[in-house]
Every structure is written in structure tokens, then in C-alpha cells.
Amino acid sequence: MKSVLIIGAGQFGTHIAKRMEELRCEVMVVDNNEDCINDIVSYVTNAKIGDGTNEEFLRTLGIDNFDVCFVTLGSHFQTSLETTSLLSELGAKKVVSRATNDVQMKFLLRNGADEVVYPEKQTALRIATKYASDNILDYFHLENGIYLYELKVPKDWCGKKLGQIDIRKKYKINVLTIKRNNEVIMPSAETVIQADDVAFVLGDSKDIHKIFKL
């Protein structure tokens, strides 16, 4: 069970808090707005009214005891930056901060954030990619240019065995699973592709777009 500190009980922080509670984490939420704390207190392990830029207050929380600290104060950048820096100085094991633009992301990374989330940009990129082609059902960026795509299979694959298509050897793209009639199949080289199959493929985005003609 992970112990989590979330500073900022706005919509983004609240969504994180509720989901992590569902995943059986111990969640403490901090915000200087009493109404926000009252709204979330029944959903989390603990909630406190406090200022994330107050070093003495943060010390009372035992920052180094949390597995991860989230700073979800995206609309108050100066406060977010100060809080991120303080958490790092107080020995936080991992600090994840929210940014609302690229400049904020750079400053947060330079001032103690181990990771920065940029939900507006990430959501926009995901939606734009998904709706750029009728064949793309969903996609996820993993790291270093590697993506996981959920895609309708190309027509010229239909009736062929996956081993015949051999995209792993030719293009370094892996077909991880195939969804067929709401059933998920772990494919082998002998799996015959059908017209309505949906493939979950892993690989470089450029290669995936080329092979699937996206």
C-alpha cells in the first residue's frame, strides 16, 4: 500500500485522490481552502487545511514518509513552484507536479520535480491523434518515441496468419493482443487475422503510421 500526499484539492487533485483511494493507497490531501477540504475529506484517508509554501507546516506532515507527493496547483504557478522546491528540499522520495504550459514544465523540472504532468497538452495530443484516422481507436505514449496503439487491422491482413505478415521481424512492431468480438486474444504466429479484428500494437510511432497507412 502506497502512501500519497496531494497538495491542491482542485478538480485534478481530487480525481487523483479519489482514484488512488480506490486503488487502496493511503491518501492525504492538503489545500488552503476549507471548502475544498470539506468536499474531499470523506473520500480520502486524511485531509488538512494548510499552505504548501509554508515550510514548517510541510515538516509536520513528515514528507519523507510519503512514497509520492503530487503538486496539483496548475493555475497558481508561483505557489506550485515554491511547493515543489520545498518538497524536494524536505526529502520527498518522488515529486510529481502539474504544469499548464511548456515553460512551467521546464521550471518545475529544474526546481525539484521528478516528473511533470501536463494534462491539457497530453489530452489534446491523444484526442488529435485518435481522430486523425478512422483506424485509430486509441493510443498511449510510453517513452522514447514508443507508443501503444489500438487499431483496426488493415484489409490486406485479413485471412493471413500473423506469422505470414511478420511485422515484428520486418518493422520491429509487436502485436501484443487482438480483440475479436469483445474477446481479447493473445496471438501466436498461427493466428489468422479476421476482418473486424482490433490489434494492440507496440512500436515506434513513425513505423506504426507507415505500416498501418495512417
How confident is the model over 60-77, as pLDDT tens digits? 999 999 999 999 986 789
Closest C-alpha among 208, 68, 94, 76 to residue 151? 208
Domain identity same for 100 and 22: yes
Domain identity same for 162 and 75: no
What is the enclosing helix (H) or strand (E) of 185? strand 183-185
Output the pLDDT for position 56: 95
Domain identity same for 9 and 108: yes
Domain identity same for 11 and 86: yes
The length of the chain is 214
Residue 140 to residue 149: CA distance in whole angstroms: 6
Number of domains in the chain: 2
Q: Which of 82-86, 94-98, 167-171, 202-206 has the lowest mean pLDDT?
A: 167-171
Domain identity same for 88 and 9: yes
Cell, residue 66: 510519503
Output the pLDDT for position 104: 92
Percent of the chain's residues with pLDDT above 90 = 55
Output the pLDDT for position 114: 96
* 127-155 average pLDDT score: 81
* Domain region containing 75: 3-117
Q: Angle at CA 112, nearest 5°, toward 26 and 11?
A: 50
Q: Look at residues 70, 100, 117 and tell me which one is the last residue of a structural domain.
A: 117
Q: What is the mean pLDDT of the chain?
A: 89
Closest C-alpha among 51, 114, 49 to residue 85? 114
Residue 113 to residue 133: CA distance in whole angstroms: 35
Output the pLDDT for position 214: 59
